[in-house]
């Protein structure tokens, strides 16, 4: 029986750590007093996944074929699940009694710390998949580092998420290849999506004060060091896809500081409407 590749070459090339069963950091204490910026750091991680999971869930019932509809829902579920764990932890770290739902449903756009790339509307399937791929590879490397990080609970959540994102990379990279090297139309759509989305990618690797403090505490990754790894994987998959890597372009980000595109407000208005119409209610 022929074994297929264990995972997409994108992910398998990286010799991921073997601690998939949980964080191997027994010596790392649960910080009695967490660094002050851990809370916003967790919000950033959570919001990326909540917002992207939400965008993916918009495909449910509208996918290009049944099998893909099911696949996208699985990925959306993984992401919202990761976000839930992260928001729960953030609420505990904050210590003001805010639950994961309070954080998801009762923060305004300016308090969301997600990257711009995840809040953009879902677009066509090429846009959704290319965005997913660019984020998945980023998330893969972030979670890979986080699971080795000094914060035990966060490392545990990251370890679980890392297993999930390994599959996400496999799914999105294989689709990028099929679109890029499929038909003329699929190639054109994928290339356009890549060209449109490229300017949102530098924000991923631009550390702010929160990231720097987390890195100093051994909790968060060195984002600038992740960039070359991300580049390598993306370049390899683009090569197989016959897609052309766009020239690097600069764009003012700001998602991590609550400065968003116009799209997030609409998304949150929809996401939060029921919860906010009945403050204090249980669901």
Residue 271 near other proteins by CB under 8 A: yes
CB of 63 to other proteins, least distance (A): 7
Site string for other proteins, 176-195 (x = CB under 8 A): -xxx-xxx-xx--x------
Residue 257 near other proteins by CB under 8 A: no
Residue 25 near other proteins by CB under 8 A: no
CA distance 223 to 212: 9
Contact positions with other proteins (CB under 8 A) in 121-180: 124-125, 167, 170-171, 174, 177-179
CA distance 107 to 268: 9
Q: Is 177 exposed, middle or buried (0-12, 13-18, 19+ CB in 10 A)?
A: buried
Residue 239 near other proteins by CB under 8 A: no
User: From the list 17, 63, 207, 246, which residue makes contact with other proteins (rule: CB under 8 A)?
Assistant: 63
User: From the list 22, 36, 60, 110, which residue makes contact with other proteins (rule: CB under 8 A)?
Assistant: 60
Task: Using only the alpha carbons of the chain, give its radius of gyration.
Answer: 18
Q: DSSP alpha helices (H): ranges in the chain?
A: 9-12, 38-57, 66-94, 100-105, 116-119, 125-146, 152-180, 184-198, 209-216, 223-241, 262-277
CB of 137 to other proteins, least distance (A): 17
Residue 57 near other proteins by CB under 8 A: yes
Nearer to other proteins by Cβ, of 115 and 179: the residue is 179
Q: Is 254 exposed, middle or buried (0-12, 13-18, 19+ CB in 10 A)?
A: middle
Nearer to other proteins by Cβ, of 25 and 172: the residue is 172
Chain Cα centroid distance, residue 214:
18
Q: Are 78 and 101 in contact (CB under 8 A)?
A: no
- Tokens standing for residue 80: 């919202």
- Give the interface with other proteins as residue ranges (CB under 8 A): 1, 4-5, 50, 54, 57-58, 60-71, 73-74, 76-77, 80-81, 83-84, 87, 100-101, 104-105, 124-125, 167, 170-171, 174, 177-179, 181-183, 185-186, 189, 270-271, 273-275, 278, 280-283
């Amino acid at each position: 029986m022929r074994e297929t590749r264990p995972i997409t070459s994108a992910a398998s090339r990286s010799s991921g750590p073997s601690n998939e069963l949980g964080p191997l950091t027994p010596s790392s204490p649960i910080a009695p007093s967490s660094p002050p910026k851990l809370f916003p750091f967790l919000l950033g991680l959570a919001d990326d996944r909540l917002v992207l999971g939400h965008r993916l869930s918009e495909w449910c019932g509208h996918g290009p074929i049944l099998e893909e509809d099911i696949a996208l829902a699985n990925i959306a579920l993984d992401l919202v699940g990761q976000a839930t764990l992260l928001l729960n932890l953030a609420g505990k770290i904050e210590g003001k009694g805010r639950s994961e739902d309070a954080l998801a449903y009762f923060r305004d756009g300016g308090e969301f710390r997600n990257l711009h790339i995840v809040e953009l509307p879902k677009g066509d399937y090429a846009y959704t998949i290319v965005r997913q791929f660019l984020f998945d590879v980023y998330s893969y490397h972030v979670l890979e580092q986080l699971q080795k990080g000094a914060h035990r609970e966060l490392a545990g959540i990251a370890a679980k998420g890392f297993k999930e994102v390994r599959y996400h990379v496999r799914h999105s990279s294989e689709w990028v290849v099929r679109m890029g090297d499929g038909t003329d139309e699929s190639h054109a759509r994928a290339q356009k999506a890549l060209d449109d989305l490229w300017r949102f990618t530098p924000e991923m690797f631009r550390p702010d004060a929160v990231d720097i403090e987390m890195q100093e505490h051994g909790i968060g990754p060195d984002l600038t060091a992740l960039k070359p790894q991300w580049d390598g994987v993306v370049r390899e998959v683009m090569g197989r896809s016959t897609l052309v890597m766009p020239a690097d372009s600069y764009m003012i980000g700001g998602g991590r500081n609550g400065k968003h595109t116009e799209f997030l407000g609409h998304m949150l208005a929809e996401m939060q409407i029921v919860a906010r119409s009945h403050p204090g209610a249980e669901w």
